[in-house]
Structure 1
Amino acid sequence: MRILSNMLTFSFFLLSISVVFFVLWPKLDSSFMLPFQKKDVPMPTVLHPKVEEYKNELIATSKNKGIDIIITEGHRSVERQNKLYERGRSTDGSIVTYAKGGESFHNYGLAIDFALKLDDGDVAWDMTRDDNKNGESDWMEVVTIAKDMGFVWGGDFSNFKDYPHLQMDFGLTIRELQYGKRPKVDQYAEK
């Protein structure tokens, strides 16, 4: 009797799995399947139009506060990302990133890096500098402006602090981007 009961339970289990796979699974929303289906979507080759727009607005707004900035990096190819990843590992230099090609928001045109532009044309990554003499760090003033626009600041990252880094993820993760999901061109980052 016990064997018959176990066989019936197992049969019911198999029937349930069959219903899920052959009846319910095909009707599920395709976004549910996103982590399991990699789409062949070309990698962007430029900044997302909204990131480009906000980048220009960041430069202009900072300038109005007496702070000149320069964008040192925008869209970054997978090849360039891999070269940067090699620094401090298989090539000389310090580690500058923990993201391999395809693992950075730069690769999807959703990130920029900035630095302070000095009067003599040099570039500085000095987070304490106060060239506009208002008692606040110029760097942190730029970060505040960027955050107000919807950028996420790399200085807030918990693992690797990336102080020049600003990104707009549009609610997407790197995994979703790797699997072919892209923000719409007219989509705004949340402010």
Structure 2
Amino acid sequence: MVIAGLVAAGVWTFVQRELDFREELEMRPLPEGLHPMVGQKAEELARTAAERGIRIEITDGFRSHEEQDRLFAQGRTIDGPVVTQARGGQSYHNFGLAVDFAIWTLDGRLIWDTGYDGNSNGQSDWFEVADIAKELGFEWGGDWSNFKDYPHLQMSFGLTTAELDTGWRPEDTDRYEVLAGESE
């Protein structure tokens, strides 16, 4: 009887903690800007690329759900090419965990040309930047099989957009600790 009581108390404590945590998650506000670690890694990406003779521009970062919905409508209900497969709340941009980039040419034009080799080393500058980004902990949209998003870099920290939408944040994950340790 004592053992059953102890087990019941343990289960009740576990369930109560889980309910409290879920309630805390629901009350967390959505981010309103780029996550500091993502911003720091994007700056490091630009510096490292510049050291290899490639000048990049971060062309987009945080996006509100409304901005994301406007982009999603492009090529569907409004004129223009399709540029995203994600509605508001389905993109890591909406949680401050993604950036897009482009490359500056030697003559000062901003381009999205994945074949450009401005540093003349026989390799695509775009793919060089993607490799640097992956070394820094980014996931690259060019690696996706269903929709290649070459300008897109994200840090998911092991979280899905559905989890982020319910309140989970990078600081809640072990992956955050690993990347934070690399930043120091």
**TM-score between both structures, scaled by the size of structure 2:** 0.82
Find the partner of 1:111 among 70, 74, 98.
98
- Structure 2 counterpart of 1:147: 134
Q: Which runs of 5+ in 2 are unaligned?
A: 1-9
1:184 and 1:121 mapped to 2: Cα distance?
Answer: 39
- Structure 2 counterpart of 1:97: 84
Matched, 1:132 2:122: no
1:44 and 1:169 mapped to 2: Cα distance?
Answer: 14
Larger Rg: 1
Find the partner of 2:156 among 146, 149, 169.
169
Alpha-carbon RMSD across the aligned residues, in angstroms, is 2.8
Matched, 1:75 2:62: yes
Per-residue CA deviation, residues 59-98 of structure 1 (Å, 9 max, x unaligned), is 0000000001001101111111010000011100111111
Per-residue CA deviation, residues 106-145 of structure 1 (Å, 9 max, x unaligned), is 0100000001112333211111111101111101100000
1:153 and 1:68 mapped to 2: Cα distance?
Answer: 18
Moved >3 Å (runs of 4+): 23-26, 185-191
Q: Aligned to 1:39, what secondary structure does the other structure show?
A: helix
For residue 25 of structure 1, report the CA deviation from its aligned partner: 6.9
Q: Which runs of 5+ in 1 are unaligned?
A: 1-22
Q: 1:78–1:107: 8 Å Cα contact kept in structure 2? A: yes
Between Structure 1 and Structure 2, the one with more helix by share is: 2
1:25 and 1:105 mapped to 2: Cα distance?
Answer: 35
- Structure 2 counterpart of 1:20: none
The percentage of counterpart residues that share the same residue type is 49
Q: How many residues align?
A: 170
